[in-house]
Amino acid sequence: MAALDEIPRRAAAPAAPARRRPAVLRNLQAKIASLPMILIALVVFVGCTLWTVFHSFTTSRLLPRTDWAGLAQYRRLWGEQRWLVSIENLAIYGALTLVFSLVIGFTLAALLDRKIRGEDVFRTIILYPFALSFIVTGLVWQWILNPDFGVQAVVRSWGWTGFTFDPLNNPDIVIYGILIAGLWQGTGLVMVIMLAGLRGIDGEIWKAARVDGIPAWKTYLLVIIPMMRPVFVTALVLIGSGIIKVYDLVVAQTSGGPGIASEVPAKYVYDRMFRDQNLGQGFAASTMMLVSVAIVLIPWAYLEFGRRRKA
Amino acid sequence: MTRFASLAGMTAISVAAGSAWAVELEVMHWWTSGGEAAAVAEFARHFEERTDHTWVDGAIAGGGAVARPIMVSRILGGDPMGAFQFNHGRQAEELIEAGLLLDLTDVAEAQGWRDIVRPSNLLDACTVDGRIYCVPVNIHSWQWLWLSHKAFEDAGLEVPSDWFEFVEAAPALREAGKIPLALGGQPWQSTGAFNVMAVAIAGPEAYAQVMGEKNAEVARGEDYARVFEAAVAAREMAQGSNVQEWQQATNLVITGQAGGQIMGDWAQGDFQVAGQVAGEDYSCLPGLGVNEVISAGGDAFYFPVHSDPAVTEAQKELAALLLDPEVQVDFNLAKGSLPVRGDVNLDAANDCMRKGLEILAAGAVLPDGVTTLSPDTTGQIDDLMAEFWSTSMTAEQAQERYAAIIEAAD
């Protein structure tokens, strides 16, 4: 109530000095307006996270329960072959997606930025897959990679009968089959972000580089890319969140198969919680996912924001 | 009246002539293949013909593993459907404990379900603390080997009469360009095939010990070691069947591209839809032709609790109707499963269903994994089997991990 009383009083006496108020009361309207958002963030994100972490230490099955189980769920989790395979797959998929989508995305953007003819057309074509959901992407690539109908069949019909390319049916390389579909879908967005970043680079810099006789690739590598740091951070966050939550692509393309060769952590969580009616185990797995994200994010945030404050 | 209707909230209510309330009852199930869809349409037809209510079909494609979570979240989320299909047993255990499902004991007593439902363990699986919560509608058994006559003719072979002959015929089938054993890629199919082999090779007693008593000693023992070795051989035979759904695998058998498939009796419905005749175009071997027993699992309907008495009334009417003799016959003939009551006229049953009925009458019935294992244990076994059937895991490794899961089962 005190906060609400504040508004009419201030309206009545506009000359009231703001600097005497404590920091909390400054910009009061803005703070009141953002209160719902803050509450939602606290309750939905922080609250539910804590609730999940708490219940990962219980024996909850279909319904959440509070029977304490200690670390039993975690011990079981790390003894599960399927979880270990999931982690390995995510590591491979994640590392390669990160590298390839940044490299390919930037290269495409740089090529488009050379003032080529028909840029709009290329941009549209390359960005187009991003308009498709992961489910559609997964199905399309399931067919393309199907040995009886897809690439393999086409190449064989050209006469090269020994040709074999069926990543989705080979447990050793199935994750690369998923990677191809993921890159096809996601690289366009990275390219557009990069292109926007490149367009933001002052033309004078290019002129200066040309005057100094620096080759274009060197200008990109040593001048332009360092200047595009914020753009790279944006792309990194988008790619990173896409990696950790990859689920629908796998479901559509292989449903985790052959066997368990293309399982990913998010699918483990879903299957345990809903298919097997074992909330405790699913929560333990999702808590581990949160921990792994935190391990990457906290040092980065510390460096990023800690340094900025000093500057 | 209008006030009452608005109180009913999400449930659509319309007033029929007279005092009865006509309710639109949403029924959710995962019966989407040709034979299954034809079967569920029989329920809908009888329900609409005999009552004032409307059947709203809520089919979910993708099988139980996809449908169950959707159904459970509908119920937990406070927007329950009118009725839903589950495999009875432990899947609905906690929903019942939480008081979310309708108690059908009064309907059951009025109709004498105790006396008409056989085998009685089907009704036991619906019973919690002496109260009945579900309606078993059919008996499904997993223990069938479906053989394509065309595939064996093409390879110049006799159609085998048991599993061992089938294994011997496998290399010749392979040479003739056939896949000896069709197997879909979904984990539950490989688990099912494995369990069927366990009954045939380790024998019904060992199987009942492992599935019913969760005896890890037996799972580690000699008998099961032979099962895992046979599974390694079957894995070789299944090489090349790059399909996911069971219908697609069954289709390989129907079209003669594959020699055989281990699949439950629901595959029968698809043979029927394809116009095939049992004994002429295809053969069925219960218990793989080795041990002629069947495990009686099946489908059951559950009814979530609704606050609206009109809906409850409609739910109970449907529950009673599902066990009606005529409905039972129409439904089960279409689906290829066996009716849950023995006193119905099944003259229209074909060759394979008759075999099943004889085994059932002889009482060679085993507990089904769905009724004795928790979904959690089933899930772990599914994962293991998925891995085993798609990699080169040895029989010993697989057996040890299988026994460990049985040991930890609750």
Contact (CB<8Å) A277/B91? yes
Q: Which CATH number applies to B2-140+298-341: 3.40.190.10, 3.30.43.10, 3.30.70.580, 1.10.260.40?
A: 3.40.190.10
Q: Is A79 exposed, middle or buried (0-12, 13-18, 19+ CB in 10 A)?
A: exposed
pLDDT digits (tens, 9 = 90+) for A8-30: 444 444 444 545 677 777 888 88
Domain definitions of chain A by residue range: 72-310
Among candidates B145, B190, B203, which has minimal Cα distance to B170? Answer: B145
Give the span between the Cα atoms of B402 and B224, in whole angstroms.
Answer: 10
CA distance A185 to A253: 13
* Cα–Cα distance list, B284 to A54, B158, B162, B169, B201 (Å): 51, 14, 10, 16, 18
Contact B107, B114 (CB under 8 A): no
Name the residue among B387, B383, B63 with its Cα closest to residue A267.
B383
CB contact under 8 A, A258 and B390: yes
Fold topology of A72-310: MetI-like fold (1.10.3720)
Instruction: Determine the Cα–Cα distance for residues A290 and A89; give it in Å rounded to an integer.
Output: 17
What pLDDT is stored for residue A25 in this prediction? 79
Whether residue B390 and residue A171 make contact (CB cut-off 8 A), yes or no, is yes
Kindly state the helix (H) or strand (E) to which residue B341 belongs, with its residue range: none
Q: Is the dihedral of CA B287, B293, B295, B299 positive or negative?
A: positive
- Would you state the pLDDT for residue A283? 95
Cβ within 8 Å, pair A276-B388: no
Written out in words, the top-level CATH class of the domain with range B144-295+365-408 is alpha beta
User: What's the rounded Cα separation, in Å, for the pair A31 and A33?
Assistant: 5
A277/B391 CB distance under 8 A: no
The alpha-carbon gap from A145 to the nearest alpha carbon of chain B, in Å, equals: 12
Helices (H), chain A: 2-12, 28-33, 35-40, 48-55, 72-79, 81-112, 119-127, 134-144, 151-157, 174-199, 203-211, 216-219, 225-227, 229-244, 248-253, 265-270, 279-310
Is A63 close to B98, i.e. CB distance below 8 A?
yes
Residues of chain B with CATH 3.40.190.10: 2-140+298-341, 144-295+365-408
**By a Cβ cutoff of 8 Å, what residues of chain B touch chain A?**
65, 68-69, 72-73, 76, 91, 93-95, 98, 185-186, 242, 244, 374-376, 378-380, 383-384, 386-391, 401
| A260 to chain B, closest Cα gap in Å | 5
- Note whether A277 contacts B: Cβ–Cβ < 8 A: yes
Closest residue on chain A to B393 (Cα): A259
- pLDDT tens across A239-251, in order? 988 898 899 999 9
The 8-class DSSP code of residue B5 comes to H
Confidence at residue A19, expressed as pLDDT on a 0 to 100 scale:
57
Give the residue carrying structure tokens 């793989």. Answer: B288
Facing B244 at nearest CB: one of A62, A63, A255? A255
CB pairs under 8 A between A and B: 73
Interface test with A, best of B376, B388, B405 (most A CBs within 10 A): B376
Task: For residue A294, report the phi and psi dihedrals to the nearest 5 degrees.
Answer: -65, -40
Tell me if A281 and B376 make a contact (CB, 8 A cut-off): yes
ipTM: 0.76
**Helix, strand, coil percentages in chain B from 3-state DSSP, rounded to 5:** 50, 15, 30
**What are the pLDDT tens digits along chain B (410 aa)?**
344 444 443 333 333 333 456 889 999 999 988 888 999 999 999 999 999 899 999 999 878 888 888 998 899 888 999 999 988 777 888 889 889 999 999 999 999 998 888 788 888 888 888 999 999 998 888 889 999 999 999 999 999 999 999 999 999 999 999 999 999 888 889 999 999 999 999 988 899 889 888 899 999 999 999 999 999 999 999 988 878 888 899 999 999 999 999 998 888 888 888 888 888 899 999 888 888 888 877 889 999 999 999 999 999 999 999 999 999 999 988 887 888 887 777 777 777 888 888 888 888 888 777 778 888 898 899 999 989 988 889 999 999 999 999 998 87
Looking at residues A211-240, what average pLDDT do you find?
A: 90
Q: Give me the mean pLDDT over the A88-117 stretch.
A: 92
Among chain B residues, CA nearest to A60: B94
What secondary structure does DSSP assign to A127-167, as a single string? Answer: HGGGGS-HHHHHHHHHHHT-TTTSHHHHHHHTT-TT----G
Contacts for B219 with CB less than 8 Å, ≥ 6 apart:
B210, B399, B402, B403, B406, B407
**Pick from A148, A259, A276: which is nearest to B391 by CB?**
A259
Chain segment A49-69, per-residue pLDDT in tens: 999 999 999 998 888 888 898
Measured between CA atoms, how close is A278 to chain B, in angstroms? 6
Show residues of chain B in contact with A274, CB under 8 Å: 68-69, 72-73
Query: Residue A180: is its pLDDT beyond 90?
Result: yes
What Å distances lie between residue B180 and B31, B142, B241, B410, CA to CA?
28, 19, 9, 37
